[in-house]
Amino acid sequence: MSRRSGRLTLQTRDSNTPEQTVTVPPKKRRQEPLKKKLQPAAKKQSYEIQKCWTEDGASPCVLIETPHKELEPADPSSFKQYTFKNLFIKASPIPRLSWASSDDVWIKMLNKELKYVHDKSYLLRHPKLQPKMRAILLDWLLEVSEVYSLHRQTAYLAQDYFDRFMLTQQDINKDCLQLIGITALFIASKIEEIYPPKIYEFAYVTDGACDMWDIQRMELHILKALDWNLCPETAISWLKLYAQVEAQKDGENFLVPQFIQETYIQITQLLDLCMMDIGSLDYSYSVLAAAAFFHFSTFDVVYRVSGLTLESVAPCVRWMRPFVDVLQSEATPQLKNFPKVKADDQHNIQTHVAYLDLLRKAQELQIDSPDCQMSPVAAGVILTPPSSTEKPANP
């Protein structure tokens, strides 16, 4: 017996009987309101670079925002008038490259200026700290960099990591500065150096103030605070670009340094001294490097290699004047020889002089000069990191 239900049951099939087909009545379609035909998703706008080179040198070029071709209507008469905002950027001074587009390289460098933000107002977040504490710490980091023959870019990366990390924190005690600084240098060395020093070597130069576990814990803390954004265009990278563009000759490899090393290390010494003053954080790294380059060239050269206008560089040039005057009264820096460093790379190794004394003299001139922006000078006794020149490079 079969049960009358909607359940399907297996029955014996007779081969002589015709096969019955079961027809399922179509479901009643649900009445839905008519929908408008979906438009294709708008694609990202593309940009094209309109070159505006002149015979005199670089001039502003334009990034023109253009709609995608598929979005253009068939009937031009029904096309609405769209207004796109033009983005004005400086024309790329970088010559034609065989391995990349010079325009793309230049745009990426400019974008980093907007992505990596630094501000000297972070001291307001740390009432126990003074500007002179930062100067002493950076002076010690430059000293450690010379002891281990680290590159200038490594030292400047450490400075950038330190300043940006302090911008994310609150109420840091001065006893933590040395740990933050040496950890920033440890991270920077792993980013920049081919053979970075070992972690125990960084712990060793602190003279027992920090051990390896402290540096590892602080490393993770800094990386999280910076959201792993570790590749800024530092002031020294901008300066090296300006010097290379100014000395570039047709047909020469752009990656091979062609500028005069003796002049380059004089500019870097000025940049080192200015970097130790917290007032340098008022300016972008590209402007800071251009102002330093200006004091050893002319504005026409600065404009050609950077595209920066006089109005954008002049305030930093005036602020930097006392530092230039102090360095001019000192002996001209000489190119140092470092073991296991090739002769054509000697200028890239970070060096150290008595920067704290030079900084004190420059800040005194800033106070006496009304045209220069003053930077506060802290008074009182503060802890000084240990001298690393008294220790060998390897324990």
Query: 180 to each of 121, 217, 389, how far by Cα in Å?
Result: 18, 10, 20
Contact 318, 371 (CB under 8 A): yes
What is d(CA 308, CA 317) in angstroms, rounded to the nearest whole number? 13
Alpha-carbon 395 to chain mean position: 33
Nearest in space to 278 (alpha carbons), one of 125, 130, 126: 130
Q: Which residues pair with 48 in a beta bridge?
A: 64
Contact 273, 323 (CB under 8 A): yes
Domains of the chain: 47-69+83-91 (no CATH), 102-368 (1.10.472.10)
Gyration radius of the chain's alpha carbons:
31
Q: Which residues pair with 65 in a beta bridge?
A: 47
What is d(CA 383, CA 56) in angstroms, rounded to the nearest whole number? 53
**Which residue stretches of the chain have pLDDT < 70?**
1-90, 251, 370-395
pLDDT score for 23: 52
Q: Hey, how many other C-beta atoms are within 10 angstroms of the C-beta on 248?
A: 17
What is d(CA 166, CA 173) in angstroms, rounded to the nearest whole number? 11
Residues 6 or more apart in contact with residue 370 via CB below 8 angstroms:
none
What is d(CA 264, CA 246) in angstroms, rounded to the nearest whole number? 12
Nearest in space to 189 (alpha carbons), one of 141, 243, 237: 141
pLDDT score for 89: 57
Q: How many CA atoms lie within 13 A of 200 on its CB side?
A: 2
What is d(CA 28, CA 42) in angstroms, rounded to the nearest whole number? 36
Helix, strand, coil shares of the chain as percentages rounded to 5?
50, 5, 50
What is d(CA 275, CA 240) in angstroms, rounded to the nearest whole number? 16
Report residue 363 as tokens: 């800040």
Contact 121, 281 (CB under 8 A): no
pLDDT score for 7: 42
| DSSP-assigned states of every residue in 57-120 | B---EEEEEE--GGGS-S-GGG--------EEEPPP-S---SSS-HHHHHHHHHHHHHHS---G
Q: Which residues pair with 95 in a beta bridge?
A: none
pLDDT score for 220: 97
Q: Which residues pair with 87 in a beta bridge?
A: 63
| DSSP-assigned states of every residue in 4-40 | -SS--------TTSPPP-PPPPPPPPPP----PPPPP
Q: What are phi and psi of 374, to 5 degrees?
A: -80, 145
